[in-house]
Amino acid sequence: MKTTLQVIHWLFVLAMPILLVGVVNRTKSWWAGRKGPRILQFAYDLQRLLGKRPVESATATPLFRAGAYVVLVSAVLATGMAPMLGQFAPVRFPHDFVVVAYTLGLARIALMVSAMDVGSSFEGMGTAREAAFSTYAEPALFLLIGTAGAATGMTSFADLIGHLHNTPYYAIIVAPLVLCLLILLQAEAARVPVDDPLTHLELTMIHEVMILDHSGPELAAMQFAAALKMTLYAGLIAALVNPFNPLTSPAACVLASFGLMLAVALVVGCVESLTARLPMRWVTHYLLIASAAALGCMVVVGLGAGN
């Protein structure tokens, strides 16, 4: 059964990025009253990009192209290790969440290096923003994990998330934790209100401006990696909410997880349709909400255990 779960987990890693992007775009076009692209349009886009001969900046070094694949491989590894189905992950050992977080960190530094590599002022600007905002996002994830670890007494990522359902504080802390993860999703996967993937103005972009000079297969790698990050966080939210245990009721758990991830994409799409992106100077405050939510949960857990 574990093998089946493994296969399903990796299917999620490969297929969900495409589906989630499709659902987000469908939701947005539904709000705008358009018919919208096919759900699988992202897959066709990737296929088209893979066949294209890229154009590279004359300034670029070999690091430019290498960066795109480092981003892709790291994102696949991180998503592969994240417990998207609740108390299950293909690879798990004590403190594996550090590996997940820092592999994403490697992806980020590779992205920033390949953006800086073309010597463009716009891409430098995007890199500076990405670097600055990530310093606000990173602690939130660790605060969340610290809270879950203290509440459950577990050490591996899957156990932390899975056992949280059995703790007495679950009903209180689940909402702030989901909010925290949703904000992290918007920051890491470059969605509104942190960043707008559809903006046409380079001055207001973060992620898109960093990949302005990427084309062909490298652009496909970067875009797939961004969608993977969204999948990772959507998966974590799904695992946090999912009431079924993958080890006892696998079918229900997988279906619930699938549905919940699509629901997260729906929420992301609705947020994107109904709000504008924040001014840059407010983005840090918005990201601090994630840390504050996790800190609040920490206090709840501390007070709860004290009594």
Window 169 to 208, contacts with another protein (CB under 8 A): 202
Which conformational region is residue 74 in: left (phi greater than 0), alpha (psi within -120 to 50 degrees), or beta?
Answer: alpha
What ranges in 164-279 are assigned the alpha helix state H? 170-188, 207-210, 216-241, 250-274
Count of CA atoms in the C-beta half-sphere (13 A) of 293: 24
Instruction: Note whether 39 and 22 are within 8 A (CB).
Output: yes
Out of 30, 31, 142, 170, the only residue in the binding site for another protein (CB under 8 A) is 142
In the complex, the smallest distance separating the C-beta of residue 256 from another protein, rounded to whole angstroms, is: 28
CB of 138 to another protein, least distance (A): 4
Binders of another protein among residues 108 to 137 (CB under 8 A) are: 108-109, 112-113, 116-125, 127-129, 131-132, 134-135, 137
| Binder among 173, 213, 219, 225 for another protein (CB under 8 A) | 213
Beta-carbon contacts of 189 under 8 Å, excluding residues fewer than 6 positions away, are 226, 227, 229, 230, 233
* C-beta closer to another protein: residue 44 or 93: 93
Burial class (CB in 10 A: 0-12, 13-18, 19+), 159: buried
Kind plus residue range of the DSSP H or E element containing 47: helix 41-50
C-beta atoms surrounding 27 within 10 Å: 20
Q: How buried is 34 (Cβ within 10 angstroms: 0-12 exposed, 13-18 middle, 19+ buried)?
A: exposed
18 vs 140, beta carbon nearer another protein = 140
Member of 216, 235, 246, 296 binding another protein (CB under 8 A): 216
Nearer to another protein, 32 or 55 (CB): 55
Show contacts with another protein in window 248-307 (CB under 8 A). 284, 291, 298, 301-302, 305-306
- CB 236, min distance to another protein, A: 16
- Beta carbons within 8 Å of 182's beta carbon, 6+ residues apart: 233, 237, 264, 267, 268
Binding residues for another protein, rule CB under 8 A, total 78
Minimum distance between the CB of residue 244 and another protein, rounded to whole angstroms? 25
Residue 39 CB: number of other CB atoms within 10 A?
Answer: 14
Q: What minimum distance in Å lies between the beta carbon of 26 and another protein?
A: 30
Smallest separation (angstroms) from another protein to the CB of 29: 27
Q: Token pair of 67, please?
A: 């960066």
The least CB distance from residue 307 to another protein, in Å, is: 10
Scan residues 143-162 and list those touching another protein (CB under 8 A): 143, 145-147, 149-150, 153-155
Q: How far is the CB of 304 from another protein (least distance, A)?
A: 8
Our CB check for another protein shows the closer of 21 and 295 to be 295
CA 57 to CA 117: how far, in whole Å? 9
Judged by CB under 8 A, which of 84, 141, 192, 254 binds another protein? Answer: 141
| Residue 178 vs 301, nearer CB to another protein | 301
**For the chain, first and last CA: distance in Å?**
40
| Token couple for 61 | 């070094």
Pick the closer one to another protein by CB: 128 or 263: 128
**Which residues from 47-106 bind another protein, rule CB under 8 A?**
52-59, 61, 63, 65-66, 69-70, 72-74, 77, 91, 93-95, 98-99, 101-103, 105-106
